[in-house]
Amino acid sequence: MIDLEFSFRVSKPADLVFDLISDVASYWKWVPERSDFFIENKLTSNGPIGLGTTYIDRLKYWGKSIGEITEFQRPSKVKFHQQTFFGIPVFSASIEYFLKAGKNFTEIRHHSFGSESSWSIQID
């Protein structure tokens, strides 16, 4: 089981920060250029981004993650749930962002938690 939480501030309005975090296909706008994690991020559902939006992340070292937005409360909370595959399901995780507008900044609390996927192979 993994459980990670951290907070930070950015000098941008909460609605802008929320929209950037929620738009998986636009991660390139805010994930550092030096990031070696993602190859591609794209939406797999149609319509506006919101509850039920689905996506796929192609990862440099870990295969791919298929996910969905499971909570969407603009501009204060967004939650993603995803399953990571490396040929087989290997990890299931939820990632939550809580945003609180301040004067000239947004405070962001990131919480991610997950565990390895259960699977078995029968050999006769």
pLDDT in tens, 67-85: 999 999 999 999 999 988 7
Range of the domain at 39: 2-116
Alpha-helix runs per DSSP H in 1-124: 14-22
- On whether residue 80 sits in a domain, the answer given is yes
Residue 123 has a pLDDT of 56
pLDDT of residue 32: 65
- In CATH, what number is assigned to the domain containing residue 103? 3.30.530.20
The pLDDT value given to residue 36:
66
Residue 122 lies in a domain: no
> What domain count does the chain have?
1
Low-confidence ranges of the chain (pLDDT < 50): 34, 120-121
What's the confidence (pLDDT) of residue 118? 62
Query: How many Cα atoms are found within 13 Å in the side-chain-facing hemisphere of 20?
Result: 15
